[in-house]
């Protein structure tokens, strides 16, 4: 009997690893199950935890809580959730969601020498994440391009959360990979092949 959720998860993890390898992380690979001390789904990027999700319902709070535990277990600098959006296949992994909380997002921007003035931020209400996130992120990306900014994201204040450092931040996996390279966690390949 085929375990479809496990197959789906394995395919998503493999797609994220393949994408990251092309973006300056040549040692990225799927992480074997770790038992009670889970350290994420992708290894080979020292200091970074990547948790991969391919689910139909976006449960950002539980995803980020899981990621925070994995960051602690791995003693990593940062962690994020790479989530496959509904309707976006494995050939457009750059458009998958990269989800984190605002405090690590701002820290990563600072590490990558990206000024907050270079990030188009679209604020969104939390009650409509599953319905409106794709459109909100597309809108933010459009404004980013029109404004010639370097990055864009959607920021969501979870219901009942007053601490802005715990707000959710969603960008694309492509933009997250760029930011990680800028922060020194990956490398830019020399286009001349030198």
* Residue 192 reports pLDDT greater than 50: no
Greater model confidence, 18 or 33: 18
Give the pLDDT band (50/70/90) at residue 9: confident
pLDDT at 143: 96
**pLDDT in the model for residue 33:** 64
Residue 171 pLDDT more than 60? yes
pLDDT at position 21 over 70: yes
- Among the ranges given (2-16, 60-74, 126-140, 148-162), the one the predictor scored with the smallest mean pLDDT: 2-16
Angle between helices 173-182 and 4-22 (to 10 degrees): 40
Average pLDDT of span 20-28:
96
| pLDDT tens by residue, 34-74 | 666 788 899 999 999 999 999 999 999 999 999 999 999 99
Specify the pLDDT at position 148.
94
pLDDT beyond 50 at 191:
no
Judge contact between 149 and 126, C-beta under 8 A: no
Q: Report the percent of the chain where pLDDT is more than 70.
A: 92
Place of tokens 């809108």: 139
By C-alpha distance, which of 152, 156, 157 is closest to 141?
152
Strand pairing class (119-124; 151-156): parallel
pLDDT-derived band of residue 14, with 50, 70 and 90 as boundaries? very high
């Amino acid at each position: 009997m085929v375990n479809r959720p496990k197959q789906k998860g394995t395919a998503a993890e493999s797609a994220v690893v393949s994408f990251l390898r092309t973006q300056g992380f040549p040692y990225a690979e799927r992480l074997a199950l770790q038992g009670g001390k889970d350290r994420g789904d992708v290894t080979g990027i020292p200091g970074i935890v990547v948790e991969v999700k391919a689910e139909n319902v976006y449960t950002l709070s539980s995803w980020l809580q899981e990621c925070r535990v994995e960051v602690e277990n791995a003693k990593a600098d940062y962690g994020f959730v790479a989530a496959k959006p509904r309707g976006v296949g494995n050939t457009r992994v750059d458009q998958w969601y990269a989800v984190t909380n605002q405090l690590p997002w701002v820290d990563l921007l600072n590490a990558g020498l990206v000024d907050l003035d270079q990030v188009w931020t679209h604020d969104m209400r939390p009650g409509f994440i599953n319905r409106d996130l794709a459109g909100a992120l597309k809108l933010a990306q459009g404004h980013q391009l029109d404004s010639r900014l370097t990055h864009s994201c959607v920021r969501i204040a979870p219901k009942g959360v007053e601490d802005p450092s715990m707000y959710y931040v969603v960008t694309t996996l492509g933009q997250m990979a760029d930011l990680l390279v800028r922060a020194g966690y990956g490398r830019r390949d020399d286009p001349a092949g030198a």
